[in-house]
Structure 1
């Protein structure tokens, strides 16, 4: 039995190892739904596929939306060559540098899993002009170890099938460090689900909806439709941000340093009152806090705050090494502190909170 503010890493493992690119999030949704059947009051789905878990207060309070996206960056089958190689179509942002020789999984329409390896050239005798050139993701191909297109098609592979990294979740040598695929943004999906579990054990005035959204990596699409379904008064987008604590980085955002409050990204500015409220809770709970200014990229908040009559919104982030690569690394402490912060905000929120946030935006 998981207690209040404890976490279950098996949940995070199941989320990480599920395969789900934009528009193909069904496996992830099944994990979310299975959890929600135990720890939420109601489950709803919108027509794009976002999965919405509801934890009711007294149904007279404000509606809080927690948003985290289920989709991961990956590929689709673009074509199959006569020799049975799979040409790849990137779905989401990839840097070709991280892909050669990586093991990948094709998921067929009937959910068959077919393993292959991203093809690469041996370095022997290559001129520097080729060695030093980063491969464009669209030029990558997958070798599934078959002799022909006919053989590949016999396995059930079709144009448009999903391709994802074949990576297992693991705790590292210090078990607080966690490695796996798709932590962008399954780490936040897991955190939001843990918040919902906490709220199932404690009373709260507000109605809290967790929107596990779709298609964020291909245009922040699912958040738009989820807002129309939920009609929130307050929204917290939950996502990851880039850790900068490796030898090739300027020292900055470290794993294990605690909560990250996003002041702004390229398309969103946090509601100032919401930011201040989170700072107060951080202080009350004796959590550690950092601030993020993400001048490139964005989160579900980019669309949420512009919907309806405008939604009082901010992003809370967790640092991640090696974003948009087959393997990411995160820290348990950041995960746990984020869960504690958002749980406490949801427990405290009432209509006076909404009034405070509106006043901070200049609304009388």
Structure 2
């Protein structure tokens, strides 16, 4: 990875633990980077963080946000023999969990573990023919009792996160790591703050950062962040499932095909004026994009309801295997999303924002 700034940023963000409700380590990284580009930071009371980049004070107020949380787990119980029961945090399909490595984040540091699986030699016929229920899984941390688990710092209520180092793959454009959903958006927010610090002439005021608890129902941090900022325009930066893998209908979301232009999901329809602005910008500047119809929602689905209504869009990228331990993105899709985000921020002045509104 030739871009040293980006390589360090991606590695730090993807490797930080940050299950929903436990985003503190990610927030510290975001604060470190954003505070080097602006001294004006703001928070909501759930933990979302934003830097304020002041261009034209008469221009629209634009909120740009990734979300800090990744799908993870929480410790719920320690058995007498030291096995850990857990609660999922975010949307997991149980069959991606068996035999996967995890870390329990304790006050003493991370405790390594593995999610239980039963070897085929001892499976009953009934077990072979049924998916394993997540409620019957546990985490083995290599101890023999509850007392031993507690001695190393494990307690009910702690976060648990997947283990997957960042890895440049055989095709060097492809990067594998945990939590691209949505440390992609956190990274892009940091890069936007850096860009606006180095080139500060923009026709608006930008609140750029990341929310909490997007992976839980209700996109909770987006609600409180929007209430704190009261934006005129919202741009979510989020990763979505790639559909270019065997066994999935390929109807959008191909790695290397460009950014994702999300026009619909169950919570959201992209406003016509904003859609025209984003697509025309891509076509004028030769930015590759893919029309995307999604089955899941993003922070845009709740921010659009704030106040009198906030025109909202998602500038996304496809990522293979999200909501699992290891996901893959394409660097060129990331760069396409970055080009569109930077361009739109430079373009949206008061008149452009008013033209987006339905009248």
CA contact (8 A) 1:211 1:226 kept: no
Structure 2 residue corresponding to 1:150, chosen from 143, 147, 170: 147
Q: CA 1:320–1:132 in 2, change beyond 3 Å: closer, same or farther? A: farther
2:185 is the counterpart of 1:185: no
Q: Distance in 2 between matches of 1:7 and 1:231?
A: 32
CA contact (8 A) 2:259 2:318 kept: no
Q: Distance in 1 between matches of 2:342 and 2:330?
A: 19
Q: Indicate the residue corresponding to 2:38 in structure 1.
A: 40
Unaligned residue ranges in structure 1 (runs of 5+): none
Unaligned residue ranges in structure 2 (runs of 5+): none
> Secondary structure of the equivalent of 2:298?
coil
> Secondary structure of the equivalent of 1:38?
coil
Two-structure CA RMSD over aligned residues (Å) = 1.6
Q: Please show how residues 42-191 of structure 1 align to structure 2 within 5 Å.
A: 42-108=40-106, 110=107, 112-191=109-188
Q: TM-score, normalised by structure 1?
A: 0.94
Q: Distance in 1 between matches of 2:330 and 2:108?
A: 32
Q: How far apart are residue 184 of structure 1 and its match?
A: 0.7
- Which range moved further: 131-140 or 313-322? 131-140
Q: Distance in 2 between matches of 1:128 and 1:201?
A: 63
CA contact (8 A) 2:30 2:209 kept: no
Q: Distance in 2 between matches of 1:97 and 1:340?
A: 37
Q: Indicate the residue corresponding to 1:23 in structure 2.
A: 21
Deviations 1:247-288 (A, max 9, x none): 222334210111211111101111111111011110121111
- Which range moved further: 280-289 or 337-346? 280-289
Q: Distance in 2 between matches of 1:195 and 1:116?
A: 37
Q: Distance in 2 between matches of 1:341 and 1:272?
A: 17
Q: Indicate the residue corresponding to 1:292 in structure 2.
A: 292
Q: How far apart are residue 131 of structure 1 and its match?
A: 1.8
Q: How far apart are residue 211 of structure 1 and its match?
A: 3.4
CA contact (8 A) 1:40 1:197 kept: no
Q: Indicate the residue corresponding to 1:255 in structure 2.
A: 255
CA contact (8 A) 1:90 1:138 kept: no
Q: Distance in 2 between matches of 1:265 and 1:77?
A: 32
Q: How far apart are residue 7 of structure 1 and its match?
A: 6.5
Q: How far apart are residue 175 of structure 1 and its match?
A: 1.3
Deviations 1:212-252 (A, max 9, x none): 00001112000000001111111011111111112222334
Q: CA 1:238–1:111 in 2, change beyond 3 Å: closer, same or farther? A: farther
2:275 is the counterpart of 1:278: no
Number of positions where the alignment pairs a residue of Structure 1 with one of Structure 2: 355
- Which range moved further: 143-152 or 117-126? 117-126
Q: Distance in 2 between matches of 1:153 and 1:214?
A: 29
Q: Indicate the residue corresponding to 1:214 in structure 2.
A: 212
Q: TM-score, normalised by structure 2?
A: 0.95
> Secondary structure of the equivalent of 1:263?
strand
Q: Distance in 2 between matches of 1:310 and 1:346?
A: 20
Q: Indicate the residue corresponding to 1:229 in structure 2.
A: 228
